[in-house]
Amino acid sequence: MVGILIVSHSKKAAEGIYELAVQMAGEDHRVLAVGGMEDGSIGTDAIRIKEGIEKTNDGDGVVLLADLGSGILSSQMAIDLLEEDIAVEIADAPILEGAVSAAVQAAIGGTLKEVLEAAELAKQISKLE
């Protein structure tokens, strides 16, 4: 099953997005949130993101969603630090809507490509008609 990794500068934000994603997809799926720094401050840490990738991967790959530009940079660094070959895709998607969409697609058995596409389609969702 494709893993979903939520990366935010804020631990509380990451946990809230995680909570919504697993509410929709179910807790038995590989969804993990990495938020803030280890000391609780705001920021992102490539080592913690790398560990999150490794924890969410079960062989089918990981779709990663990040909140801000430096979260993307830290995520790219984390991918470079991986010692094993794990297929990781960073979604160009809104973190909340993308995480929920990706988690649902992963829960129904979507491939890495399908889960990534589901996350990225969230950019097109209009909240107002």
Question: What pLDDT shows up at residue 25?
Answer: 85
Question: What pLDDT shows up at residue 106?
Answer: 95
Element (H, E) at 119: helix 112-121
9 among known catalytic residues: yes
Residue 92 amino acid letter: D
Contact (Cβ atoms closer than 8 angstroms) between residue 115 and residue 98: no
Question: What pLDDT shows up at residue 93?
Answer: 96
Of 58, 67, 60, the residue nearest 91 (C-alpha): 67
List CB contacts of 46: < 8 A, sequence separation 6 or more.
74, 75, 77, 78, 81
Choice among 9, 29, 30, 48 that is catalytic: 9
Question: What pLDDT shows up at residue 90?
Answer: 98
Question: What pLDDT shows up at residue 127?
Answer: 81
Question: What pLDDT shows up at residue 101?
Answer: 96
Phi, psi at 80, each rounded to 5°: -65, -30
List CB contacts of 53: < 8 A, sequence separation 6 or more.
3, 5, 62, 64, 78, 79, 82, 86, 88
Question: What pLDDT shows up at residue 91?
Answer: 97
Is the pTM higher than 0.85?
A: yes
Pick the CATH number of 3-124 from 3.40.50.2300, 1.10.3210.10, 3.40.47.10, 3.40.50.510: 3.40.50.510
**pLDDT-flagged residues of the chain (< 50):** none
Question: What pLDDT shows up at residue 125?
Answer: 86
